[in-house]
Amino acid sequence: MSPSELKEFLDFKADFYENPSFIVDDPIQIPHRFETKEDIEISAFLISMISWGNRKSIIKSGENLLKLIEYQPYEFVMNFSEQDLTFVHRTFNNIDLNFFLRSLKNIYENHGGLEKAFHSNDSKLISKISNFRNIFFNISHEKRSEKHISNPLSGSACKRIIMFLRWMVRSNQKGVDFGLWNSIPKSCLMIPLDVHTGNIASKLGLIQTNKFSWKTNEELISILQKFDPIDPAKYDFALFGLGAYEKF
């Protein structure tokens, strides 16, 4: 396909998949159960951080997590004190969950909330994620918990945190993402690279490697920004849909 044909194809697929029916089988359904900003962003953050593996398994773990926090994400976080919460999703366990809840409480009490914790004078996403990560791990924690929020400065593709930012920043006009945050322009968002989006991007010639890293992110988004400089992350729906549903 020529560049113009590829753009037309991806525009069509992005529009096709970005609709409320997408929510039914996706972990984003968890934060869609809430109405207030804080409840949405906290539940979205927690479910996105355990979003690896089978989507059904992720959603099931999300259900268990909601029960543990008594279906009141913000209130539970703000009143949280170290306690024995039994939770496991793959390598994420009760030690990690206890720390995550303590760190979220610290962020809301001392840093103005999740959105402000991503503030950076540098408009690049790598700086915003790095700043957030520094704040998040600024209280006492076990080293093991650091692996659950990837570090872009170490070259990680940071799939889960990029997906969370897409949820928070992109418009809710089509009923999937939330559009809650206006401090991060959607033009600087990236694609959450996983086996579906990465493999399709490779097949379409958008990236030249099957090793997904921050450098790969930058390579991919630099092309997609030419197709849509205002909202390049919309193509996540196209790439994911082509991989997960169409086995393109």
In DSSP terms, which residues pair with 88 in a beta bridge? 93
Whole-angstrom distance, CA of residue 214 vs CA of residue 85: 34
32-73 residue pLDDT tens: 999 999 999 999 999 999 998 889 999 999 999 999 999 999
Q: Is residue 17 a contact partner of residue 237, using CB atoms and an 8 Å limit?
A: yes
Q: Is the pTM of this model over 0.85?
A: yes
Whole-angstrom distance, CA of residue 47 vs CA of residue 30: 7
- Closest to 81 measured CA to CA, from 122, 112, 57, 109: 109
The two three-digit tokens of residue 6, written as one number: 């590829």
Taking only the tens of pLDDT, the chain with its 248 residues reads 899 999 999 999 999 999 999 999 999 999 999 999 999 999 999 999 999 888 999 999 999 999 999 999 999 999 998 777 899 999 999 999 999 999 999 999 999 999 999 998 888 999 999 999 999 999 999 999 999 999 999 999 999 999 999 999 999 999 999 999 999 999 999 999 988 899 999 999 999 887 889 999 999 999 999 999 999 999 999 999 999 999 88
Which class for 110: exposed (0-12), middle (13-18), buried (19 or more C-beta within 10 A)? exposed
Half-sphere exposure of residue 179, counting CA atoms within 13 Å on the CB side? 8
Q: Is residue 161 a contact partner of residue 48, using CB atoms and an 8 Å limit?
A: yes
Q: What distance separates the 2 farthest-apart alpha carbons in the chain?
A: 57
